[in-house]
Amino acid sequence: MPALQILISALLAVLVLAGISMMSKVRTAVAGNLLSALAMLCGIVATLLFAGVVSVWTIYVSILIGALAGSLLAARVKMIQMPQTVALFNGLGGGASALVGLLSTHGEGAFVRFTALLAVAVGMVTLVGSLIAAGKLHRVLPQKPVVWKRHALCTLLFLVLTLGFVVAGIFAAGTGLTVCVVGTFLFASLFGLWFSLRVGGADMPITISLLNSLSGVAGAIAGMAIGDVFLVAVGGIVGASGLLLTQIMCRAMNRKLRSILTGGTMKPSTPTPVIENEELVQRIMDLEKRIKALEAMVADLEARVKVLDGQLNAAPAAPAGEAPTAAAVLSRAKDVIIVPGYGMALAQAQHQVRQLADKLESRGARVRYAIHPVAGRMPGHMNVLLAEADVDYEKLYEMDAINDDFKNTDAVVVIGANDVLNPAARNAEGTPIYGMPVLNVDEAPEVIVCNYDLKPGYAGVENPIYTRDKGVYLELGDAKETLLRLISEIA
């Protein structure tokens, strides 16, 4: 009864879409997610009935095993591990689609063979790519792009071979078909490995979004192979969502998707300037220390002069202007913008960030958070971490919504962010971040930088904010400790 099946599938697909559109508002998002899950459950039951496989007991055993493992993982995983968890789940979905494709390769007709092989290809790329991405995010694999000999050429070769086997499979039969299946499987896996290994840390948000899209496409193609409308529809929706996120991420980094896939991966332009930069940074840090020491001496001298003056005039002198410190700036500030970055995630400092904000707010200051679209390692990464620390989501502002306010604010606190606020992106032509939209932190009168060190960020471009004449306070070291110190120092 294909008509009824199509009708029910369409209805369930609409339910899924309704669930997604409810996810556009925080208040309805929880219900939206549950609605999508419910639609999925109905889809599974409907499939059992329509395919006439209700009596197959192995299905239930398998579902039970997967459900237990998945639920356990979902309940146990820490928020900080979310990027790699999402990547891992994503890969499993791709792997499942590849297996469905594998099982469908012996079906009737060219369309079935073609889609089945294509599902194997896209599924394996998703599986291998996601596992590598998860490994990088979990720090068991190098964060830096790994580039092997003739990397770009091999990547291209594997892609062409994969497509070649898929197309050849349309016309193949018997042993020839088996060869095509094995070839597709092998070269799609190799392509996934090669392309994901050369993606570096900061390109992760784009890669994860893309893999997300691919896992949906893999599902949709597998759905075509077995003729399941529901699977095709939902796979298409997921594919579109991932594609949209990929687009947003690319725009936020001013990068072309192709350059990330085919080897234009961001890397420091040349090794030498980095070393020079490090020397420069070291010198700046040393200077900073000496300035601090000199300031302390000056304050000490002023105090002694004051004492002498007081003795001479027997009248109290006007209070000398205190040496500006980050804590003093924050004590005075009435309007503060906090800029979090991946460093906050690394230091797990989101709770201390919240404490700092609470302290400032208790003193009557207005505190907002400026979130760059690619801050962190996946779309919306910072929002999740701050939500975990109970920060009200209405205080989280997107880049475009807050970028004009930096010049009117009293102080900006940067927590482990670098490239997303580097003004060099506006004018340093030829650097990897040139043209990338950045937060206008440099327009703020006072900038407090709570970064681990002053090393250039992932893009390897020096940040001129660190070396500007005044209004910058470098509070280096572990962000957690720095923040706790700042909180205690704010009078």
Partner 1 sequence: MIHPLILVAVFLLSTVVGYFIIRTVPSLLHTPLMSGMNALSGVTIVGAIVATGVAFLAGEGVFSQIAGGLAIVLAAVNVFGGFGVTHRMLRMFDKKKK
Residues 240-279 that bind partner 1 (CB under 8 A): 240-245, 248
Q: Shortest distance, CB of residue 480 to partner 1, whole angstroms?
A: 20
Give CA–CA dist 86/81, Å, rounded: 9
128, 158, 165, 228: which one binds partner 1 (CB under 8 A): 228
Q: Is 85 in the site for partner 1 (CB under 8 A)?
A: yes
Q: Is 11 in the site for partner 1 (CB under 8 A)?
A: no
- Per-residue interface string for the shown chain with partner 1, residues 45-74, x marking contact by CB under 8 A: --xx--xxx-xx-xx-xxx-xxx-xxx-xx
Q: Is 236 in the site for partner 1 (CB under 8 A)?
A: yes
341, 381, 446, 457: which one binds partner 1 (CB under 8 A): 381
Q: Shortest distance, CB of residue 14 to partner 1, whole angstroms?
A: 9
Listed ranges 43-51, 156-164, 347-355, 407-415: which one lies at the site for partner 1 (CB under 8 A): 43-51
What lies within 8 Å, CB to CB, of 92 at 6+ separation is 127
419 is catalytic: yes
Q: Are 373 and 398 in contact (CB under 8 A)?
A: yes
- Residue 225 or 365: the one with the smaller Cβ distance to partner 1 is 225
- Residue 73 or 287: the one with the smaller Cβ distance to partner 1 is 73
Q: Is 348 left (phi over 0), alpha (psi -120 to 50) or beta?
A: left
- Residue 222 or 260: the one with the smaller Cβ distance to partner 1 is 222
Q: Is 474 in the site for partner 1 (CB under 8 A)?
A: no
Using a 10 angstrom Cβ sphere, with 0-12 exposed, 13-18 middle and 19 or more buried, the burial of residue 218 is buried
Using a 10 angstrom Cβ sphere, with 0-12 exposed, 13-18 middle and 19 or more buried, the burial of residue 355 is middle
Residue type, 404: D
Residue type, 163: L
Q: Shortest distance, CB of residue 43 to partner 1, whole angstroms?
A: 6
DSSP state of 339: E
- Residue 62 or 488: the one with the smaller Cβ distance to partner 1 is 62
Site for partner 1 in 275-304 (CB under 8 A): none
Q: Is 380 in the site for partner 1 (CB under 8 A)?
A: yes
Torsion of CA 25, 27, 30, 35, to 10 degrees: -70
Q: Shortest distance, CB of residue 299 to partner 1, whole angstroms?
A: 40
234, 266, 327, 439: which one binds partner 1 (CB under 8 A): 234
Site for partner 1 in 187-216 (CB under 8 A): 208-209, 212, 215-216
Q: Shortest distance, CB of residue 223 to partner 1, whole angstroms?
A: 6
Listed ranges 101-109, 187-195, 286-294, 311-319: which one lies at the site for partner 1 (CB under 8 A): 101-109
User: DSSP secondary structure string, 423-461?
Assistant: THHHH-TTSTTTT-----GGGSS-EEEE-S-----TT--
- Residue 37 or 297: the one with the smaller Cβ distance to partner 1 is 37
135, 145, 164, 227: which one binds partner 1 (CB under 8 A): 227
Q: Shortest distance, CB of residue 375 to partner 1, whole angstroms?
A: 10
339, 371, 465, 472: which one binds partner 1 (CB under 8 A): 371
387, 428, 484, 487: which one binds partner 1 (CB under 8 A): 387
How many residues sit in the footprint of partner 1 (CB under 8 A)? 109
Residue type, 377: R
Q: Which two tokens stand for residue 87?
A: 């990547």
Site for partner 1 in 122-181 (CB under 8 A): none
- Residue 333 or 371: the one with the smaller Cβ distance to partner 1 is 371
Give CA–CA dist 280/291, Å, rounded: 16
Closest to 352 in 3D by CA, of 483, 452, 488, 447? 483
In the sheet that holds 396-398, the strands lie side by side as 396-398, 366-371, 335-340, 411-415, 447-450, 472-474
- Residue 24 or 272: the one with the smaller Cβ distance to partner 1 is 24
Q: Is 362 in the site for partner 1 (CB under 8 A)?
A: no
Cα angle 296, 362, 448; round to 5: 40
Q: Are 197 and 76 in contact (CB under 8 A)?
A: no
276, 279, 300, 390: which one binds partner 1 (CB under 8 A): 390
Selected catalytic residue, list 203, 228, 419, 442:
419
Q: Which two tokens stand for residue 371?
A: 């979130």
Q: Is 464 in the site for partner 1 (CB under 8 A)?
A: no
129, 183, 219, 460: which one binds partner 1 (CB under 8 A): 219
Q: Shortest distance, CB of residue 141 to partner 1, whole angstroms?
A: 21
Q: Are 160 and 107 in contact (CB under 8 A)?
A: no
Q: Shortest distance, CB of residue 392 to partner 1, whole angstroms?
A: 6
Give CA–CA dist 89/378, Å, rounded: 14
Consecutive H or E run containing 473: strand 472-474
Query: Which is it for strands 447-450 and 396-398: parallel, antiparallel or unpaired?
Result: unpaired
4, 7, 37, 296: which one binds partner 1 (CB under 8 A): 37
Consecutive H or E run containing 215: helix 204-226
- Residue found under tokens 């409810």: 22
Q: Which residues participate in catalysis according to the annotation?
A: 419
